[in-house]
């Protein structure tokens, strides 16, 4: 049976279509989920896409965390549902307290859009098991509020528990503490990543095909998950 991966659309979402295409290219069935509908329609995993949900009012992701669909996603994620938050989706996961820390204004105060090398640090998550530890990948980054921050105790805990999923290599585009580009929750089913793997799944439009591994990983995870 083909896995069904939900992609949420919020008011202001920008990359939901790209995320759905990446899901399809990976071999799964994309299922479009609406922010105002609390039902997940039987999906096996969820992607929170990049963009500017609710216009980034208050703080990026601060309003989206209260969307009806997010109430259901939070409960499902705590029960083991794989959830990937990309860029604005990462911000939403932090606002919803599924991931620690916060994403703040880039230290240089400029929007940064470029192809970025990442080093995959953790391959034990639902979204990174297709990679090798230490593997370097090339994925676009585009953000104005992508600087990951947390208190020292939280950063040390992430490091000690192997929950830093990816780091920036060859220059930090936003000033994120400890060059953090992606993190995971203790269970490894929830991952937030600031760069955009959905923009690196096709030779025609991406700088590489390296982003595809995030989407094939969840399919591999679902095959091995208990029924």
* pLDDT of amino acid 227: 45
All residue ranges of the chain with pLDDT < 50 are 227
Nearest to 174, CA basis, from 110, 92, 94: 110
H or E element: which one contains 116?
Answer: strand 112-120
Model pLDDT for residues 15-50, shown as the tens digit of each residue: 999 999 999 999 999 999 999 999 999 999 999 999
Helix, strand and coil in the chain, % to nearest 5: 30, 25, 45
- The distance in angstroms from the start CA to the end CA of the chain is 13
* pLDDT of amino acid 144: 87
Q: How many domains does the chain have?
A: 1
Q: Taking a C-beta distance cutoff of 8 angstroms, is the pair 51, 12 a contact?
A: yes
Q: Taking a C-beta distance cutoff of 8 angstroms, is the pair 192, 99 a contact?
A: yes
Strands 83-86 and 102-104: unpaired
What is the residue range of 72's domain? 4-224
* pLDDT of amino acid 184: 98
- Domain CATH code at residue 114: 3.40.50.880
* pLDDT of amino acid 226: 54
Burial string for 167-203 (b: 16+ CB within 10 Å, else e) reads bbeeebbbbbbebbbbbbbeebbbbbbbbbbbbbbbe
* pLDDT of amino acid 225: 64
Q: Give backbone dihedrals phi and psi of 121, rounded to 5 degrees, phi first.
A: -95, -35
* pLDDT of amino acid 57: 83
* pLDDT of amino acid 213: 98
Query: Catalytic residue positions?
Result: 87, 196, 198
């Amino acid at each position: 049976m083909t896995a069904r991966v939900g992609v949420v659309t919020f008011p202001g979402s920008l990359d939901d279509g790209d995320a759905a295409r990446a899901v399809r290219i990976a071999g799964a069935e994309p299922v479009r989920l609406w922010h105002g509908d609390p039902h997940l329609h039987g999906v096996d995993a969820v992607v929170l896409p990049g963009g500017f949900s609710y216009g980034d009012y208050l703080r990026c992701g601060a309003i989206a965390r209260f969307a009806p669909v997010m109430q259901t996603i939070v409960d499902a994620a705590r029960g083991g549902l794989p959830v990937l938050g990309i860029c604005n989706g990462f911000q939403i996961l932090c606002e919803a307290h599924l991931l620690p820390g916060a994403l703040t204004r880039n230290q240089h105060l400029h929007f940064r859009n470029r192809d970025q090398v990442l080093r995959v640090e953790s391959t034990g998550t639902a979204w990174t098991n297709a990679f090798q530890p230490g593997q370097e990948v090339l994925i676009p980054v585009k953000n104005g509020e992508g600087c990951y921050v947390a208190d020292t105790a939280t950063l040390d805990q992430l490091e000690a528990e192997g929950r830093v999923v990816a780091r920036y290599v060859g220059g930090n585009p936003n000033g994120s503490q400890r060059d953090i580009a992606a993190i995971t929750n203790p269970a490894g089913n929830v991952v937030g990543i600031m760069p955009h793997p959905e923009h690196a799944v096709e030779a025609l439009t991406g700088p590489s095909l390296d982003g595809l591994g995030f989407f094939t990983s969840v399919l591999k995870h679902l095959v091995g998950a208990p029924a």
